[in-house]
Chain A
Amino acid sequence: MMASTLLLVAVLAPLLTAALAPYLGRSLGARAGWLLAPVFLPGLLLATQVGSARAGLPVEANLAWVPAIGLELTLRADGFSLMFALLVSGIGLLIMLYAASYLGRGELHGRFYSYLLLFGGSMLGLVLADNLIALFAFWELTSISSFLLIGFWDARKASQDGAMKALLVTALGGLALLVAVVLLVLAGGSTRLSSLDVVALRDSPLFLPALLLLVLAALTKSAQLPFHLWLPTAMEAPTPVSAYLHSATMVKAGVFLVAKFGFLLVGTPLTTVVMFLGLVTMFWGSYLALRQDDLKALLAYSTVSQLGILMALYGAGHAFAATAHLVNHAAFKAALFLVVGIIDHQAGSRDIGRLSGLWRKMPVTFLLALPAALSMAGLPPFGGFISKELFYEDMLHEGNLAALIAVTGSVMTFAYSLRFLTVFWGPVHSDKPDVREAAPLFWLPVTPLVLAVVLFGVYPWRHTVAGWFTGLAGVTFGYEAEELYIWHGISLPLALSALTWAAGTSLHYLRAPFLELQEALTPGWNANTIYYAALAGLERLSRGITRTTQGATFATHLRLIWLAVALIGTAAALRYLPATLTPVPLGIWVVALLLVAGAVGVLGARSRLSALIFLGLAGVGSTLVFVLLRAPDLALTQLLIETVTVILFLSVFRYLPAMRRYTRSRAAVAFDAILSAGVGMTVFGLLLAVQLPLAPRIKDYFLKFSKLLGGGSNVVNVILVDFRGYDTMGEITVLAVVGVTVFALLKLRTRPQEMEEEEEQVSEERYEQIP
């Protein structure tokens, strides 16, 4: 019981705190980060549940919503999910602490932490969710919160572009995931991942489409070719965000999906497809990373490349190597991003060409960067070496082509890792004249990550850091965590590693000619040009649709709408026409006359004011109907609505142009008359239809229990606030949305004077058009 509560708290704490963060940010500024960081502690405390996960009895928690259709928030901390949750919480905690030093004074701290917590909570929900619908919801939440985070500096054009690109690409994947989830639930007979009927699923014709969509979702989120385009532009986000989302967590969601659903992928040709897509992405990512001059862009393409490795390994089912590398990558890449943030902050630039010799000025930062970068390069004695060896070993099993791509990709990885470190070598140079080491509070959050990188390398056994993590996920994937050693004799993978180092070093020193080659090979188009072309095309299309469908006059719009209503309504009403009509009391006839007179009067009115008065007549008529039918609440409401409407009309009179009559052809008048009659008949028919009891009458229930259950003798009111409270809640929400929308629309309008001028122009034009 305690454990499942902890599970819920771990996910909900960041999400709920996100609502508070703006207030804290306003009063505390950047320091809010220190106060808010412990929100990730419940997630870290999940480490206490490792025992049960290892024993194959994962902790579960369930918040039922509509259990009848499988809508529940079900969380399940199996080994892999638990490992991921610990990564997300741990790195989240460090990022919060780091951000407190990173963000400057003038920033909107509250908003920043709010988004970050929203993201952290969604990510925790995503990795722990067992209910597929909840999984989808959290998946979308990560897309939305990352959109907010990437566009955090929302005044910058590049941030807007980056945020939009990330949202569009990942939302495409989100749609695919939604359909995939629906198909899986239909074919697998459960909304819970852990109780899907795998046998039935594999036999179902929906199986393959579901898998394809699932893979599509994973590819977009994890920035695999050709969807890699959004990740580098997402670097417009503040650096802590890049470190968290675009290296350690969010982009791994796609990989997570492939890993989690790996048991479905096994034995399908998709494994090979995913593996090669991953390998190609790995190759292409490191190829492009070599060209970058911006440290952050270099890391971004590097992340694309490393995600390719993970995708290839999980796709091909090598979960052990994949998980080991995943943990490694999360540690060294997050550390490197944070180091870049420090360099940017202290030296005022991220351009490799403008920075050098920084180790003299920033020795601690250098000491933090060195192991992380060497781990990325795959050098012993760091974690990256071990997982790179495992990667080579598995790719050798997959054939020569896979191994070849893996090695070439790694050679370039080695070269750009060295290039990353060049900012520390050589003579001191930077844009800022007085570069100083960062404050301890700034670099301290980076140390645990670097420590993990080093520890996994020098002490890689099962019971420490990354080895422990990797073993934990083994419960899910059914592998025994192998004992890992730096040195396991001379083997083919080791030989390949040596080759990688030699070739990588040469490549680093032959960078100039290689760059020329790259320039020469660059084609005129790439994923980005296609993206922008598609976006422009979409814009043209929607503009075309708007122009063709929205150009009509108001009257034409009304005609179209009413025509549809009349046709559908008449068809529906005809089925109920033989209903018996009860005699109508005399009073109603009188009132009906009033109503008709009002309606006819509006049609004949020559000015807006008289039209308004006639409309009021109709309104009073309806009020009287309610009075006669002994519905005082409705009568009161109707009367008040009439009053408010009159006031509303009076207040907008000024804006309305003078009423004019247009001459219509006889045929048009006849058409309108028939249409109006049709609509009238439709409404009449619908009223009759409503009279037919489809279900037992509920009014007796309301009358009987109003006092007893709702505590009120005004049944109408009890229905509104109690029996049908849900409806009322929805209605006032709609009302509020309308209010806010009107407010936004009117605040955005052109200023009254401009509008008047514009209006005059428009009406003059109209006069000219009318013969």
Chain B
Amino acid sequence: MNRYPDVFFRTVAMPVTFALMAIGFHFFLRGHNAPGGGFIAGLVIAVAALLARMARGQRLLTVAPRALIPSGLLLAAVTGVTPMLFGRAFLKSAYGYLEWPLVGEFEWATAVLFDAGVFLVVVGTTLTIIDLLAGDARLMKLGADTGSEEED
């Protein structure tokens, strides 16, 4: 356990990670009608994942982050091409409203799928790059190393 020296960091990181995740998904869902959206949400989730990695060495994702990149791209592309099958333009979005018994009016939009593609690409790319640059051992030793670098 000595490898994660900062107790405060570790303790605080946990709830903050979950809060970030909640905020991230909130941003994603409300993106169409209020500040937010796939790109922003992607960054928040990436930050949450990185925090968990730095503080406790945990991985939030069970898949390799780089797998998200092509998946996101594919999702966005499929969302784009689908309207063409119905004789509409590439990426033409559709939306509508559903009346649900308890929730009331609920809006659906195909743009959410496209945004989800953006989200996946952003999360995947950010985590892939930082994961690789840092590497497991690197992040753990961060505190000690930056100190030496400062003396310049």
Contact = CB atoms under 8 A, between A and B. Distances in A.
Interface in B1-58: 27, 31-40, 43-44, 46-47, 50, 54
A739 B76 contact: no
A714 B90 contact: no
B32 A648 contact: no
A737 to B, nearest CB: 9
Contact of A726 (B36, B90, B118, B122): B90
Contacts of B43: 637, 640-641, 643-644
Given A607-B150, A710-B95, A712-B32, A742 B132 contact: yes
A458 interface: no
Given A651-B138, A736-B69, A736-B121, A717 B93 contact: no
A656 B31 CA distance: 38
A743 B66 contact: yes
Interface string B55-75: 000000000001001101100
A623 to B, nearest CB: 13
A652 interface: yes
Interface residues of A, number: 51
Interface string B116-152: 0110011011101110111100110110011001111
A743 B132 contact: yes
Interface residues of B, number: 59
A725 B151 CA distance: 48
Contacts of B138: 651, 654
A725 B93 contact: yes
A732 B124 contact: no
B47 A647 contact: yes
Contact of A648 (B38, B130, B142, B146): B130
A542 interface: no
A640 B122 CA distance: 12
B146 A650 contact: yes
Given A641-B43, A650-B146, A721-B111, A711 B37 contact: no
A608 interface: yes
Contact of A722 (B111, B135, B151): B111
Nearest to A643: B47
Contact of B129 (A637, A722, A742): A742
Contacts of A714: 31-37
**Most-contacted residue by chain B among A636, A714, A736 (CB, 10 A):** A736
Nearest to B73: A736
A606 interface: yes
Contacts of B69: 736, 739-740
A718 interface: yes
Contacts of A712: 32-33, 95, 109, 111
B107 interface: yes
A233 to B, nearest CB: 34
A716 B115 CA distance: 13
B78 to A, nearest CB: 11
B130 A653 contact: no
Contact of B47 (A644, A732, A735, A739): A644
A736 B125 contact: yes
A722 B47 contact: no
Contacts of B80: 725, 729
17 contacts: A636-B27, A636-B40, A640-B43, A640-B44, A641-B43, A644-B50, A652-B134, A654-B149, A658-B152, A711-B93, A712-B109, A713-B34, A717-B115, A729-B80, A732-B117, A739-B128, A739-B129
Pairs of residues from A and B, 9 with the lowest C-beta to C-beta distance, nearest first: A711-B95, A739-B125, A651-B134, A712-B32, A640-B43, A632-B35, A725-B91, A721-B111, A746-B132
Given A729-B76, A742-B128, 17 more contacts: A633-B40, A636-B27, A643-B43, A644-B126, A648-B130, A650-B146, A658-B149, A659-B152, A711-B111, A712-B33, A720-B38, A721-B38, A722-B91, A732-B117, A732-B122, A739-B121, A740-B66
Interface of B: 27, 31-40, 43-44, 46-47, 50, 54, 66, 69-70, 72-73, 76-77, 80, 90-91, 93, 95-96, 107, 109, 111, 114-115, 117-118, 121-122, 124-126, 128-130, 132-135, 138-139, 141-142, 145-146, 149-152
